[in-house]
Structure 1
Amino acid sequence: MTASDAAALRIRAPARLHLGFLDLGGALGRRFGSLGLTLDRPATQVTIARAGTDSATGPDAGRAARARDAVRAALGIDAAFAITVDDALPAHGGLGSGTQLAVAVGVGVARLAGHALTVRQVAGLLGRGRRSAIGMEAFEAGGAILDGGKALDGPDADAPPPLLARLPVPEEWRVLLVFDTAREGLSGSAEVEAMASLPPFPEALAAHLCHLMLLRALPALAMGDAAVFGEVVGAWQRVLGDHYAAAQGGARFLSAQVAQAVAFIEAEGIGGVGQSSWGPTGFAIVGDAATASRLLEALRRRFASSTNLTFDCVRGNNRGAEITALPQARAPQSA
């Protein structure tokens, strides 16, 4: 069954970590440049179905409906669609919730209407990828992703950053996640204002980070060396955390309790720790499942009284989004 023949599409879009930007100054004509890591969970799952009238239900249903309407208007689609958001990533948590939900809905609407658009094309219709291509590339095929930053001017100025590298996350690696349910990261106009208020980023520091990325972090990732990869990510996070501190209450982490949990992990010998995007989600990259499992239990014991903190241990995702065509019998009913 093809997408255009199906009554509905069920789409599971994975979360991603945004590990940081390489060059916030854009001295060479491209600004940002991002490294991201696709996660097996948590994930957004939506079902988009042909329907007699529009509807949208479930968590973040409003954002899902806006994505449907934007893609439908851009492509001149007249049909109605019912959207069920089965699971949604935590909003403004540093996991890419907005991009994953919008792209999942946009891809579903386009394909049900017979438009064979790429993920990048759909993301462009939705205004995604203004700074980073990590979210759309995580959706496309998962893995560890490096993009080349946004062109500051010229014909590519409105295009999402180009994909430079996609490497598989080693099967034996695990990622510890630290969630603070009481905090939300910056987004929307607050994020734009925060980015504009940051001090100039030194060109020499950007060059150093790019050097580390190309000749230390990526080779370590390709060779499955979590210790060296984590060493670079941890150092990178400290530099960027200090740069962002003024927009985060003077600290490297948005959440002081996440910072404490991450420091606990680091004290156990794990160097690849930090905050994804504006947080509050913290992470630690661990080279084997046994160590990760031990640390997960230790975190839960140590921070049992911090009821707003939750923890998980997850694998990388090297597949990207999963799209399943559903027959009429399994499609959700419109409202």
Structure 2
Amino acid sequence: MPFRDAAGIRIRAPARLHLGFLDLGGTLGRRFGSLGIALDRPATEVTVRRAEADSASGPDSPRAARARDTIRAALDVGGNFAIEVDAALPAHGGLGSGTQLALAVGMAVARLSGSDLSPRAVAELLGRGRRSAIGMEAFTAGGVILDGGKAMSGPQAELPPPLLARLPVPEDWRILLIFDAAREGLSGSAEVAAMAALPPFPEAQAAHLCHLMLLEALPALAAGDADGFGRMVGLWQRLLGDHYAAAQGGGRFLSPDVAEAVALVESEGIPGVGQSSWGPTGFAIVDGAERAADLAGTLRRRFASSTNLTFDCVRGNNRGAELTAL
């Protein structure tokens, strides 16, 4: 059934990890430049139906309603839509909750209104992708995503970063996630202020990270080498964690509990560890489901008394969001 003839659309949009920026200062010509991984779970799950009157229910429904109203106005279309948010990602957890929810609703309203705009075009209308394209590209087709950062001037400076590479997450890899329900990462005006207050990012360090990305991390990923890819990610995370430390309590991690859990994983020989975006969510890139499950079990036993912490082992998502006509 074509989406424009459907009574509604159900959308499942993947969470993503944002592994960091390559050049925070733009000293090499473009600013930011991001690497991210789309995850099979957790996910945003939303149903948008044609309706006699607008409505929105479920977790984060006010944000969903704003996305509906924004995209409807941008497309200059009529019609009312009922939104049911069946599952939302933890807000300000480093998983891309805002972008995935906005894109899920925006794409549903666009398709029900007869528009075939791409997720990137919808994201632009919604004001998403101002620093990173990881969220919109995770929605589009998943995988491990590298974007090219923001132009420093000219018309391109107003556009989201271009996609440079998308490689599949190897099927036997697992991402061990470490959640801290007691913490929230920076967002909104607090995030903008924190970014503005960061010290200058050294040009030599940016060049080194770009070199490692192109000639170490991506080749290791293409070869399915989890430890080789993870070593570069772990190094990158340490450099960025030190750079961000003043904005997140003086350490590489926003959550001391997550930091302790990550240290335990690293002591078990897993080099690809870190924090997604501003956290608090931590991660580890693990080769093999059994090894990941064993590590998760070790963490659950070690942190049994830390009721704020939870752990999960997930696959990568190599499909992107799923839209189903109703």
TM bracket, shorter-chain basis: over 0.9
Matches within 5 A, 1:305-316: 305-316=305-316
Q: Do the aligned residues in 2 keep the contact of 1:29 with 1:153 (CA within 8 Å)?
A: no
Partners of 1:320 and 1:120 lie apart in 2 by 13
Aligned to 1:111: 111
- Give a deviation string over 1:259-291, Cα, whole Å, max 9, x none: 000000000000000000000000000011111
CA drift at 1:198: 0.2
What one-letter code is carried by the residue in structure 2 that aligns with 1:262? V
Q: Secondary structure at the match of 1:121?
A: helix
Aligned to 1:332: none
Aligned to 2:125: 125
Aligned to 1:187: 187
Matches within 5 A, 1:13-32: 13-32=13-32
Partners of 1:261 and 1:304 lie apart in 2 by 12
Aligned to 1:333: none
Q: Secondary structure at the match of 1:310?
A: strand
Partners of 1:4 and 1:79 lie apart in 2 by 12
What one-letter code is carried by the residue in structure 2 that aligns with 1:81? F
CA drift at 1:28: 2.7
Q: Do the aligned residues in 2 keep the contact of 1:45 with 1:86 (CA within 8 Å)?
A: yes
- Give a deviation string over 1:2-24, Cα, whole Å, max 9, x none: 11010000000000000000001
**Percent identity between the two aligned chains:** 77
Aligned to 1:177: 177
Q: Do the aligned residues in 1 keep the contact of 2:28 with 2:207 (CA within 8 Å)?
A: no
Output the aligned Cα RMSD. Answer: 0.4
- Give a deviation string over 1:91-136, Cα, whole Å, max 9, x none: 0000000000000100000000001101011000110000000000
Partners of 1:323 and 1:155 lie apart in 2 by 32
Aligned to 1:153: 153
Aligned to 1:291: 291
Q: Secondary structure at the match of 1:234?
A: helix
Partners of 2:148 and 2:173 lie apart in 1 by 25
Using structure 2 for the length normalisation, give the TM-score: 1.00
Aligned to 2:73: 73
Structure 1, unaligned runs of 5 or more:
327-335
Q: Secondary structure at the match of 1:157?
A: helix
Partners of 1:131 and 1:41 lie apart in 2 by 24
Partners of 2:303 and 2:27 lie apart in 1 by 43
Aligned to 2:84: 84
What one-letter code is carried by the residue in structure 2 that aligns with 1:141? A
Q: Secondary structure at the match of 2:156?
A: coil
Q: Do the aligned residues in 2 keep the contact of 1:20 with 1:34 (CA within 8 Å)?
A: yes
Aligned to 1:197: 197
Aligned to 2:48: 48
Q: Do the aligned residues in 1 keep the contact of 2:64 with 2:102 (CA within 8 Å)?
A: yes
Aligned to 1:212: 212
Aligned to 1:8: 8
Structure 1 segments, 4+ long, off by >3 Å, are: none
Aligned to 2:273: 273
CA drift at 1:225: 0.1
CA drift at 1:29: 2.4
Partners of 1:308 and 1:321 lie apart in 2 by 29
Aligned to 1:246: 246
What one-letter code is carried by the residue in structure 2 that aligns with 1:315? R
CA drift at 1:150: 0.6
Partners of 1:149 and 1:236 lie apart in 2 by 17
Aligned to 2:96: 96
1:36 aligns with 2:36: yes
Aligned to 1:317: 317
- Give a deviation string over 1:280-315, Cα, whole Å, max 9, x none: 000000011111011011000000000000000000
What one-letter code is carried by the residue in structure 2 that aligns with 1:132? S
- Give a deviation string over 1:113-168, Cα, whole Å, max 9, x none: 00110101100011000000000000000000000001111110110000000000
Partners of 2:173 and 2:108 lie apart in 1 by 31
1:61 aligns with 2:32: no
- Give a deviation string over 1:165-188, Cα, whole Å, max 9, x none: 000000000000000000000000
Q: Do the aligned residues in 2 keep the contact of 1:180 with 1:310 (CA within 8 Å)?
A: yes
Using structure 1 for the length normalisation, give the TM-score: 0.97
